[in-house]
Amino acid sequence: MITHDLFLPLPLPLLSVGTMLLLTAIAWRRSTTRSLTLALVTLALSLGGIGYHVGTPQPEGLSLFVQDRWANYTALLILLSSLSILLMSWRDLEQDKTHPTDEYPLMLVLGTLGATSMVFSANYLPFFLGVEILALSLMGLVASRSSRLTEASEASMKYLILSGISSAILLFGIGLAYASTGSLLFSPPPSGNANTIPAIATIMILVGVFFKLSAVPFHMWLPDVMDGAPPPVAAFMAVVSKIAIFSSLVRYFGTGDTPEYLHGILSAVIILTILGGNFLALRQTNLIRLMACSSIAHVGYLLIAFFSPGQLRSEAITLYLAAYAASTLGIFAIICAFALTENSLPNTITDWRGLFYTRPFLATTLSLMLLSLAGIPPGIGFFAKFEVAATGVERQQTLLLAALVIGSIIGLYYYLSIVRVLMGTQDTPSLQVKKSQSPELTTLIVVLTLIVVVGGIFPARMLPQVLPSPPLPQNELISIQEPMQPSL
């Protein structure tokens, strides 16, 4: 007898309850501090709930959700990133007395719920619901900047259009997959002819995912959207949303070889993404726009590791995700540490000239984060990029390795250009800095810096032992059972 018991990884109901409490609190009486505190407690409890679940797992593969090491690891990254972004936003939200901002923590928790739902999904239904919850939350978050209402509204509209197009393509691919298999469960793509319906479904799902990842040529308007959004929201887009959709990509494709009919498409997209993202970043004079273009290039590096199956792939993916998240969050935390005057926005790279002589700690930490993204020691990004290159060498991906080397050289140039600006001599920096106490933000910057530096100094051979491997395809999980997680 087959039973359909409820099975939910514990972070999902905790985030759902937290969202409802936030809605109730806002409807009862508006208080930014209370909303921020509720969001902080919700995210902290959800973080503690990783590894636990409610209900009985379905070993037959009938469950909507799956909870394994890969899901727990990516959920951990998402929840830690969301907590960091909440701390980045805390001071500005409390100081903005003119425009009530109670909805901001609500949308942040709701977006985290959507992202977490995606990484735990074993079925197209909760996956697509998570995609839409995340997208709708980001639309509101992008438009939440009251000091730049015109730019924020334009950015939100552009994100709405991009999200609508990508969701339509993704949903059409899911529909074709269901029509060909009769099941909404994730299953590895077929290895047959590219003209078959399952193969077409796979290609359309892949295109929809590439839109969400902002891979070239599906990257339109990403720099505009991130520049128009508040810096913490730009960090959310660069880190949380990309981790969520990449985790789902790993879940969908599993750990097997990529079908032959996808080799040419994937190679072209990866090369275009790496080179296109780096060349776009090379032209930017605005730091947030540069980070947006840089995030495109880093998606390309991750895709090299993912589509180069071998013994080193899982180590490269898990390490690169952690390195990218810590370094990117650190840069945005430093951006948020400065209360810029309205006249100094948007903050160009030259605005940061001479920062080392006025705020040496922040200038040094920003340099470390940039060098980590460039793949230079002592940052954790060095070992992460080395692992990615090793996967390409292992599978003899000559063209992809050439793109990685060229892209890394270009990236090294514009990252070092920013460091040179920070160390530049100037009596009075053009950046208008308002020194104010923000202990939570200072603590966050210190913690992220320690992660980046200690992760770089720690022996590379030790890191894979504490990092999980990506999961097996869903149909193999049915027959290969993992030990049951503790339940409540």
Dump pLDDT digits (tens) for 212-222. 898 888 877 88
Average pLDDT over residues 140-156: 75
Q: Measured between alpha carbons, how far is 92 from 88 in angstroms, rounded to an integer?
A: 8
Is 467's pLDDT higher than 80? no
Most confident region among 60-74, 221-235, 264-278, 376-390 by mean pLDDT = 264-278
Q: Measured between alpha carbons, how far is 225 from 240 in angstroms, rounded to an integer?
A: 15
Is 447's pLDDT higher than 90? yes
Res. 437 pLDDT band, cuts 50 70 90: low
Is 475's pLDDT higher than 70? no
Range scoring the smallest mean pLDDT among 315-329, 363-377, 433-447, 459-473 = 459-473
The pLDDT score that the predictor gives to residue 341 is 42
The pLDDT score that the predictor gives to residue 466 is 40
Q: Measured between alpha carbons, how far is 244 from 334 in angstroms, rounded to an integer?
A: 24
Only one residue has tokens 């308002």, namely 434
Res. 472 pLDDT band, cuts 50 70 90: very low
Q: Measured between alpha carbons, how far is 214 from 245 in angstroms, rounded to an integer?
A: 11
Res. 100 pLDDT band, cuts 50 70 90: low
Helices (DSSP H) in 343-397: which residue ranges? 355-358, 360-374, 380-394
Helix (H) or strand (E) holding 50: none
445 vs 350, higher pLDDT: 445
Length of the chain: 488
- Whether 67 and 53 have beta carbons less than 8 Å apart is answered as yes
The pLDDT score that the predictor gives to residue 483 is 39
| Residue 133: count of CB within 10 angstroms of its CB | 20
Amino acid at 49: G
Is 484's pLDDT higher than 50? no
Transcribe 157-215 into DSSP letters.
HHHHHHHHHHHHHHHHHHHHHHHHHS--B--PPP-S-TTSHHHHHHHHHHHHHHHHHT-
The pLDDT score that the predictor gives to residue 346 is 45
Res. 412 pLDDT band, cuts 50 70 90: very high
Is 376's pLDDT higher than 80? yes
Is 399's pLDDT higher than 50? yes
The pLDDT score that the predictor gives to residue 487 is 37
The pLDDT score that the predictor gives to residue 397 is 81
283 vs 487, higher pLDDT: 283
The pLDDT score that the predictor gives to residue 416 is 92
Amino acid at 292: A
Range scoring the smallest mean pLDDT among 122-131, 256-265, 290-299, 364-373 = 256-265
Range scoring the smallest mean pLDDT among 27-31, 36-40, 84-88 = 27-31
The pLDDT score that the predictor gives to residue 474 is 44
Q: Measured between alpha carbons, how far is 67 from 235 in angstroms, rounded to an integer?
A: 26
In this structure, the strands spanning 7-9 and 53-55 are antiparallel
Using only C-alpha atoms, what is the Rg of the chain?
A: 22
Name, in order, each residue with C-beta under 8 angstroms of 465's C-beta and a sequence gap of 6 or more: none
- Whether 290 and 281 have beta carbons less than 8 Å apart is answered as yes
Is 0.75 topped by the overall pTM?
A: yes
Each residue of 173-217: pLDDT tens digit?
A: 999 888 888 888 887 777 666 668 888 888 899 999 998 898 888
Range scoring the smallest mean pLDDT among 96-100, 133-137, 381-385 = 96-100
The pLDDT score that the predictor gives to residue 368 is 93
Is 312's pLDDT higher than 80? no
Q: How is residue 467 annotated by DSSP?
A: S
The pLDDT score that the predictor gives to residue 194 is 61
Q: Measured between alpha carbons, how far is 405 from 408 in angstroms, rounded to an integer?
A: 5
Is 448's pLDDT higher than 70? yes
Residue 469's DSSP bridge partners are: none
Q: What is the dihedral of CA 378, 335, 407, 416, to 10 degrees?
A: -60
Number of helices and strands in the chain (H, E): 19, 2
Percent of the chain residues past pLDDT 70, beyond the cut: 82
Averaged pLDDT score across all residues of the chain: 81
Is 471's pLDDT higher than 60? no
Is 243's pLDDT higher than 90? yes
CA 357 to chain CA mean position, Å: 33
Each residue of 277-287: pLDDT tens digit?
A: 999 999 888 88
Q: Measured between alpha carbons, how far is 266 from 258 in angstroms, rounded to an integer?
A: 9
